[in-house]
A and B are shown apart, each in its own frame.
Chain A
Amino acid sequence: MSTNVVDRRRVNGPARSVEPVYASTETADPFAEGREDGRALDQVRPIFMKTGPLSAQESELSSSATASAASGSAFYEQGKIRVSCAVYGPRQGRKSNARMGSFDCDFRYAPFSCSWKRRSHVKAADEKEISLMLEHAIAPAIRVEAYPKACIDAFVTVIESDGRAATIAAAINCISAALADAGIEMYDSVAGCSMGLRGSQWVADCTQAEEDVSSCSALLAFMPSADEITYILQHGKSTPEQTDQAVQTCTNLCTRVYAVICRYLQSSLE
């Protein structure tokens, strides 16, 4: 519990409980025999995506002005990572007197999303930081001059996470899909991909176990059609040459992820 309130009406168990420590807890090296799930070092986890689960359905179009219906939504899976995003907009902006539209992102982990601990319902500092990261990654792709005085809101919920950098990359892809589903004008969809540094080798799309043994993780958000990188994040230590190599490899991976997202978007209209 994150509060110090004691519940006196019930017979409570211990306020804090931890998993018992077993005698031989040697964490196995996830790279012992190749990667755990058999992927190549530069292979991204398989992606599944579905748009429109939270928006008004075709048959209810006449009553689509219900307050809770999102303009666009998407559900995104990458391996064990599951992320969902709802986009509302364009709607009345709350920022002061803007001639261009604004894009706001709200990111949160569901309390059950981390496999090793339960998160609190209150938004933590890292969720606020990731919200800003996603805004920086996605905002350059949106044609904000087409929406003066309006704002576009994206609400991302991580249902299950597996690798911090990989989950943020998944969130970027999910928001791109939801924005396309909402019909928001964009220069291009943004594709995100992450890598982890193990020794001197960059490994694509690390799971949580793989990320725990990496010395560095990198995240890249890329717009292939404009050939522009919108966001780079590196967490950890690496040489400049290694960072360079990560940016090159990640850009290629993003292009592949982008192709998958576009294929799903196209089939969603058919």
Chain B
Amino acid sequence: MSSGVETVTPGRRLGLAEEYEAGSGTYTRNGMIYSSILGTKVVQKAEESKEADSQSKPTLHVERSNAKFAIPVIGSEVLCRVVRMNPRAASVAIMMVGSTPCQEDFQGVVRVQDIRATEKDLVQMINSFRPGDIIRAEVISLGDQRSYYLATTKNEHGVIFAQSAAGNTMVPISWEEMQDPKTKDTEKRKCAKTF
């Protein structure tokens, strides 16, 4: 809910920290909420709290309509493409964080022990991913100098799009198999539960 269209520039005072909550696109300093990006000021009314807490304050956001590029943060869901594989880890290129694209692909790595939640020692990389697969994963750590560490342990994480050896798009038939609809061949992947 917006209270009028007011364009604000970075560093513009928006309100007092005791009257408002600081939302996205803002920062707080010395008890005052300032805008941190160029955008429109949005005041979101406080949600009705179940405990009848009358202390909830409206939230101040600054929003920008055109493309805002994201960076991976711990706990965020990312969409990646498998680039390289070795028996211990798969290198992936992170293309999207949530529903926001990245300006340039970030580098990530899915280690073999982070592919499944159970029976981690029996996982084989070649039966989980192949280069070129598109996977959905979760960022578990900021990782080392080059890559973020990702995991596909959750049911809804894993391969969401893959092509068979024959070049056709495969359909998941179980959590560990995908089938080529034309040749009827099955290939092993760690599939994401998309339904």
Q: How many A-B residue pairs have CB under 8 A?
A: 101
Chain B residues near A53 (CB, 8 Å)?
none
- B7 on interface, CB distance cutoff 8 Å: yes
| CB–CB A183/B9 < 8 A | no
Complex Cα gap A148–B75 (Å): 14
B142 sits at the interface (CB 8 A): yes
Residues on A with C-beta less than 8 A from B7 are: 266, 269-270
Residue A196 interfacial (CB < 8 Å): no
Q: Which single member of A61, A141, A184, A186 contacts B67 (CB below 8 Å)?
A: A61
- Complex contact B106–A92 (CB within 8 A): yes
- Per-residue CB proximity of A41-56 to B under 8 Å, as 1/0? 0000000000000001
Cα distance, A150 to B73, chains bound together (Å): 11
**A225 interface residue per 8 A CB criterion:** yes
Chain A residue contacts of B145, Cβ below 8 A: 96-97
CB distance B11 to A189 under 8 Å?
Answer: yes
Task: Convert A187-231 into 0s and 1s, putting 1 for each residue whose CB lies closer than 8 angstroms to a CB of B.
Answer: 111000000000000000000000000000000000111100000
Within 8 A of B (CB), among A122-158: 141, 143, 146-150
Instruction: Give the Cβ gap from B5 to chain A, nearest Cβ, in Å.
Output: 9
Whether A91 is near chain B, meaning CB under 8 Å from some CB there, is yes
- Complex partner residue of B103 from A58, A71, A188, A268, CB under 8 angstroms: A71
Residue B185 interfacial (CB < 8 Å):
no
Q: Are B10 and A188 in contact (CB under 8 A)?
A: yes
Q: Does B39 contact A (CB under 8 A)?
A: yes
Say how far A97's CB is from chain B's closest CB, in angstroms: 5
B38 A180 Cβ-Cβ under 8 A: yes
Does residue A265 face the partner (Cβ distance < 8 Å to B)? yes
What's the nearest-Cβ distance from chain A to residue B41, in Å? Answer: 11
The answer, yes or no, to whether B40 is at the interface (CB within 8 Å) is: yes
By a CB distance below 8 angstroms, the chain A residues around B64 are 183
**Also in contact, A187 and B101, with CB within 8 A (given A61-B67, A266-B7, A270-B7):** no
Q: Which residues on the A side are within 8 Å of B144 (C-beta)?
A: 97
Known: A91-B106, A226-B11. Is A71-B37 also a contact (CB below 8 A)? no
Mark out the residues of chain B between 131 and 152 whose CB falls within 8 Å of any chain A CB in the assembled complex.
142, 144-145, 148
Partner of B12 from the list A65, A183, A225 (CB cut-off 8 Å) is: A225
Closest to A264 in B: B9
B148, chain A: closest CB distance, angstroms? 8
- The answer to whether B67 touches A185 (Cβ under 8 A) is no
A262–B13 Cα distance when bound, in Å, is: 13
Closest Cβ–Cβ distance, residue B101 to chain A (whole Å): 6
B194 at the interface (CB under 8 A from A): no
CB distance from B43 to the nearest CB of A (A): 18
**Known A-B contacts A147-B71, A148-B142, A270-B7; A185 and B36 likewise in contact (beta carbons under 8 Å):** yes
Q: What does the 1/0 interface line of A242-262 toward B look like (CB < 8 Å)?
A: 000000000000000000011
B-chain residues with CB within 8 Å of residue A146 when the two chains form the complex: 36
Shortest C-beta distance, A264 to chain B (Å), equals 10
Quick one: closest B residue to A152, CB to CB? B103
- Assuming A64-B101, A89-B69, A265-B9, is B36 touching A187 (CB within 8 A)? yes
A90 within 8 A of B: yes
Known: A61-B67, A92-B104. A269 touches B39 (CB 8 A): yes
Residue of A58, A67, A269 touching B38 (CB-CB under 8 A): A269
With A91-B104, A180-B38, A265-B38 as contacts: A189 and B67 at CB distance below 8 Å: no
7 contacts between A and B (CB under 8 A): A71-B69, A90-B69, A141-B10, A149-B148, A186-B10, A187-B10, A266-B9
Please name 13 further chain A to chain B contacts, defined as beta carbons within 8 Å, in addition to the given A181-B38, A183-B64, sorted by A numbering.
A65-B101, A90-B71, A91-B104, A92-B104, A146-B36, A148-B73, A183-B37, A187-B11, A189-B10, A226-B11, A265-B9, A266-B38, A270-B7
Question: B interface vs A, CB < 8 Å?
Answer: 7-13, 25, 27, 29, 34, 36-40, 64, 66-69, 71, 73, 95, 101-107, 142, 144-145, 148
Binding site for B on A (CB under 8 A): 56, 58, 61, 64-65, 67, 71, 88-92, 96-97, 99, 141, 143, 146-150, 180-181, 183-189, 223-226, 261-262, 265-266, 268-270
